[in-house]
A and B are shown apart, each in its own frame.
Chain A
Amino acid sequence: MSEPILKLEAVGFDYGRLTVIDGLDLRVDRGELVVCVGPSGCGKSTLLALLGGHIEPTRGKIERKGQSRTIYQDGGLFPWLTVRQNIDRGLPRGTEPAARSKKVDEWLEITRLAEFANHYTHQLSGGMRQRVELARALAAETDILLLDEPFSALDYQTRTRMRKELVATLAERPRTVVFVTHDIEEAVQLGDRVLVLGSRPANVRRVLELPPGRIRPPAAAGVAEAEQAIMEELGLS
């Protein structure tokens, strides 16, 4: 049996009197890519904040083995730094200057951003900014990567390309990933497992295991059925 790297037991979270998450159980194994889908405002981002240790649960227990980095939909990059400096800032503290420079160059190459290394983030397109986010998060070499609707602000073409880049990068540098999205197609293309979250308070209403392989084409076995099951669970069909 695989080793759990994230484990939530009966976790609940309240914002004042509002219960956002209640009785949530979740286990994520090392190397897995788990996608959480759910309606807007159901508490998906709160779940990631809990997983990242940015907020503490009101109830229940969270076990996290290792460090995490979060990639946000937009605005997580520091606009006063260049692309190079942003990636450098993501590297673990204590990394030697020569090693830092080498690592940053490596990630600039992987994410095809070398020629934009000295650009500021507001000088980049949305897709390029997301690649910088990805490079900064992955350069940290943490065990867990948390993605909060990272591609939702991008146009369809860029979003499709970014999914491929994420998968290619993960193939090269594997991580445990929890990916939150409201895009059903994205969920079934990427996830090893898809968790369908219910409306607030969020809890897991259904878990769908998908056949191996990332990215799954629409015609791949089990994809259409999974999409249909998610839509039914969310009351969309």
Chain B
Amino acid sequence: MKFLLPILTGLVLLAIWWIAYEAGAFPTGTVPSPPAVAAAFGEEIASGRLLDDTIASLYRVAWGFITAVLAGVPLGLVIGRSIATREALLPWVNFFRSLSPIAWIPFGIIWFGVGDPPAIFIIFLATFFQIVLATAAASATVPKVFYRVALDMSLTPAQVLFHITLPAIMPQLVTALRVAIGVAWMVVVAAEMIAVRSGLGFLIIDARNGLRMDLVVCGMITIGAIGIGLDIAFSRLAKIPSVRWGFER
């Protein structure tokens, strides 16, 4: 049932699309037919372009996301654990978080030129502030009693970080990372519409320029499917025994 229901829903949606197309519900050239999209998939897979574009997009998301985690988690920990740092930085983290990553595109191109770096930069910005905020909120709410126990155990600051704070915030962090990877995947499409000539975002913008709506839908379906795959992969983190406690209590 877990897989059957979503597959059935997808088939129903496909049937509605197909019937509407055959009934002439869409003006010519605005929506492709399902067979045309299937043919476009065949064409893109056979030529190897779909795989190349997927790898290019995943590469940019991986770099942008991993650098955001590596920078965002430590900064979030500092903000969460130090009142002075929190007061000094939190309003600015919120300020930058409110800015759409798209607004940074002109700076991305001026600072990093064309190619992967501006796209990675945009993905970094889209996820970094979210991760900082989530980590700060999680670490600020770690029960004090854990730190008192750590004091009794004479743990060093590094041991407190690795044995108390990080495991204590892990369930909330995993949820935040799951949301952030979804945002990163959404933003990569926008980032690839500028300054690069590969990736699923580029595939869509290039297909639009050539009025190939079948290829546009092919790109959209691939993005959605990979988005689901990434979400499933990150939701598996919540099943790790040392993380699961946060979701079972």
Contacts and interface: CB of A to CB of B under 8 A. Distances in A.
A binds B: yes
Interface of A: 49, 52-54, 67-70, 72, 75-76, 78-81, 89-90, 93, 120-122, 140, 142
Given A89-B163, A122-B249, A78 B146 contact: yes
B164 A75 contact: no
Interface string B218-249: 00000000000000000000000111111011
Interface of B: 143, 145-146, 148-149, 151-154, 163-164, 167-168, 170, 241-246, 248-249
A81 B242 contact: yes
A68 B151 CA distance: 10
Nearest to B146: A78
A235 B195 CA distance: 79
B154 A120 contact: no
B154 A53 contact: no
B145 A76 contact: yes
A57 B164 CA distance: 26
Given A80-B242, A122-B248, A70 B168 contact: no
A72 B170 CA distance: 23
A68 B152 contact: yes
Interface of A is mostly: loop
B56 to A, nearest CB: 37
Contacts of B170: 80
Contacts of B154: 93
Q: Which of B148, B167, B248 has the most CB of A within 10 A?
A: B148
Contacts of A78: 146, 149, 164, 167-168
Nearest to A79: B245
Given A120-B245, A122-B248, A80 B167 contact: yes
Contact of B143 (A75, A80, A142): A75
A90 B245 CA distance: 20
Given A52-B152, A89-B163, A140-B152, 12 more contacts: A54-B151, A68-B152, A72-B149, A76-B146, A76-B149, A78-B167, A80-B167, A80-B242, A90-B153, A122-B245, A140-B153, A142-B152
A29 B246 CA distance: 42
Given A75-B143, A75-B145, A78-B167, A69 B242 contact: no
